[in-house]
Chain A
Amino acid sequence: MALSVADPTRASRPAPRRRPVRPGRWVLVAGLTALAVLMVFPLYWMLVSALTPGGQAQSGTFSLFPTRPTFENYTQVFSTQPVWRWLGNSALITSVGTALSVVVSLMAGYALAKFRFLGRGLLYSAFLVTIMIPIQVTLVPSFLVVAKIGLVDSPWAVILPTVFDVVGIFIARQFMLGVPDALMEAARLDGAGEFQTFFRVVLPSCGPLVGVLVILGFMTRWNDFLWPLVVLQGNENLTVPVALSTLTNNPAFSSPWGAVMAIATVTVLPLLVVFLAFQRQFVQGIASTGIK
């Protein structure tokens, strides 16, 4: 980004050390292209297999594209399985879960960054320790909690336990530390209450933060697997990834791979669209989980 901005100025003046493009550079580009093809091939193959009629996909001969692409797999799987329900469940869980979690994370991050209160250090360290604990360890006890509230097999069983998001709180706190206190002071001097200060003054200055939190939250929830697998049971209540994992041994299909790949494309598509539209925020979000 910054480099491409700087390039024109550089080109307009004599550049003493600028070497001519060497053949080595083209070798590099060729190597990168080969690697890029390898990286994208699995996704390409998913699409190709989804468009290949069931019988032909399951053959031992090598080919890189279907001779006669059809939507046969899609019509078959959409007519025999509650795919729209799965998509609806995923959409509901992802959107409501992300919205709630972003609000909770922003508020917690604000409190941790901008207030001094009893137990702040202890609470924050306790939050951070939970990052270390793999979900398998708490899977059963968490299930018991959800069962006790009577939520099993409802979307809320997936939504509620994931609203508390340590990574989100951590990112929010880091960002809020950089919001100038003078901004809050000014708002308070103007007579704004604490909540007005937060919603009208602090939050509007946190645009990039909210973008990162929304995209990260959306991605982790849409892709979540193990927890929904445990708390969702009825076939029509599943999320798309969980449903996908059950399809490979679904007796409804004689040759399941075409159907599986069709659902796989449907699972990846929303995130791919979000990724292409918000590439920068996406990469920033992923990177900020790494800056601990």
Chain B
Amino acid sequence: MSLRTETAPVRTTAASTAPPTGGLPAGGAARRRHGRFVPYVFIGPAALLFLGFSLIPIVTAIALSFQDSSTSLGDGTWVGGKNFTDMASDPLIGTALRNTLVFTIGTVPTAMAIGLALAVALNRPLPGRSVFRALFFVPMVAAGVVVGVIMSWIFNGDYGVVNNLLDALGLGRVPWLTAPGWAMATLVVVVVWTRIGFCMVIYLGALQSVPAELKEAAAIDGASRWVRFRTITWPLLRPTTSILLILNVVFSLQAFDVIYVMTGGGPGFSTTVLIQYVFRSAFIDARMGYAAALGLVLVAILLVFTLLRQRANKKAEEAI
């Protein structure tokens, strides 16, 4: 009884935020009695803006990737697949790919694991629970640029508070942003800091739909908290985990603002991830065609990753 009063309100709020696809077949009556132009009036503005500011630029970018162009479209000459074959002999591609991999593997599982732990901890009654939720979420609100300048200042080698503390403790100063290995590690920590709140919120939402009856039943059977988590909660969270994984990987592959402000890809090329290299090729090396080609490679990686994940999900669902 008390269980039902507890779960019912949760369900209704969940339903009002993410309504199930339902209702009658879409707009049957509308088609019968009204002009066929009506839907086009509603979709029109979006479609026009999509054409002008999305589709045309995308098509242009594809065209650009087959050209040798220094500044903009028009002055380039068609070079076929040269931009793509050039990548094979560009040593920086390997560096950028390796950095991207390190950055992604460093940020994604860490942020997800901490976010999940916090969500589980905050999913039961605790003193100050809502305050904790708000505090963990706050970093999400800050712009990438703001995060970048604050963290550059905190990790500043000469005056930063972290190094001042280490100095006061008698430990040495660390070149957080000025030595290759350290710079990447610092960026990973900073980006994880911005991402924990997001993972926590998504996991919290999913945890609310794990039926309390199941866990209580397992508890009566004497299952420990860890066993309950592993055998009940974790499998039920699988769809959420895979969505979060895709989103986090996409975020990490597209992470730009923080890296741009904090290291600009340096020192050397030690924090130049793929997206940073695209930007660099276009606006610093003035190789627009090459940059466009690099961008398409990045899009291809994103697509392949998403498709792989979707297939793995389908297989997992079939297995259950």
- A interface with B by C-beta (< 8 Å): 1-3, 5-7, 9-10, 13, 17, 25, 28-29, 32, 35-36, 39-40, 42-43, 45-46, 49, 57-63, 103-105, 107-108, 110-117, 120, 123, 126-127, 130, 132-134, 136-145, 160-161, 163-164, 169, 174-175, 177-182, 184-185, 188, 194, 198, 208, 219, 222-223, 225-226, 241-242, 244-245, 247-248, 257, 260-261, 264, 267-268, 271-272, 275-276, 279, 282-284, 286-288, 290-292
Contacts and interface: CB of A to CB of B under 8 A. Distances in A.
Given A35-B118, A111-B42, 16 more contacts: A3-B6, A6-B5, A35-B136, A43-B138, A43-B142, A113-B26, A139-B282, A143-B72, A169-B46, A182-B24, A184-B27, A194-B34, A226-B256, A245-B148, A275-B138, A287-B202
Contact of A36 (B135, B156, B292): B135
Contact of B254 (A60, A108, A134): A134
B202 to A, nearest CB: 5
A45 B154 contact: yes
A58 to B, nearest CB: 5
B159 A268 contact: no
Contacts of B39: 111, 115-117, 120
B2 A10 contact: yes
Nearest to A172: B46
The binding surface of chain A is classed by DSSP as helix
B53 A225 contact: no
Interface stretch (B86-94, B95-103, B125-133, B175-183): B125-133
B150 A39 contact: no
A234 B44 CA distance: 34
A185 B121 contact: no
B284 interface: no
A291 B202 CA distance: 9
Interface stretch (B104-112, B162-170, B226-234, B312-320): B162-170
Contacts of A292: 243, 247
Interface of B: 2, 5-7, 9-10, 13, 16-31, 33-34, 36, 38-43, 45-47, 49-50, 52-58, 60-61, 64, 72-73, 118, 121-122, 125-128, 132-154, 156, 158-159, 161, 163-165, 167-168, 193, 196-198, 201-202, 205, 208, 216, 219, 243-244, 247, 250, 253-254, 256-257, 260-261, 275, 278-279, 282, 288, 291-292, 295-296, 298-299, 302-303, 306
Contact of B33 (A7, A116, A188): A188
Contact of A132 (B30, B43, B142, B306): B306
Contacts of B134: 276, 279
B141 A219 contact: yes
Contact of B53 (A1, A62, A142, A179): A142
A43 B136 contact: no
A59 B159 contact: yes
Given A174-B18, A181-B24, A58 B145 contact: no
Given A104-B46, A107-B43, A137-B278, A132 B205 contact: no
A126 B61 CA distance: 16
A144 B18 contact: no
A222 B42 contact: no
A17 B217 CA distance: 12
B112 to A, nearest CB: 12
A284 B30 contact: no
Max count, chain A CB within 10 A of own CB: residue among B47, B73, B143, B163 = B143
Given A39-B136, A108-B45, A132-B306, A260 B149 contact: yes
A175 B23 CA distance: 12
Given A134-B299, A174-B18, A257-B159, A36 B136 contact: yes
A107 B42 contact: yes
Contacts of A267: 143, 145-146
Given A42-B154, A140-B64, A260-B153, A288 B295 contact: no
A291 B2 contact: no
A19 to B, nearest CB: 10
B11 to A, nearest CB: 9
A244 B146 CA distance: 8
A208 B202 CA distance: 18
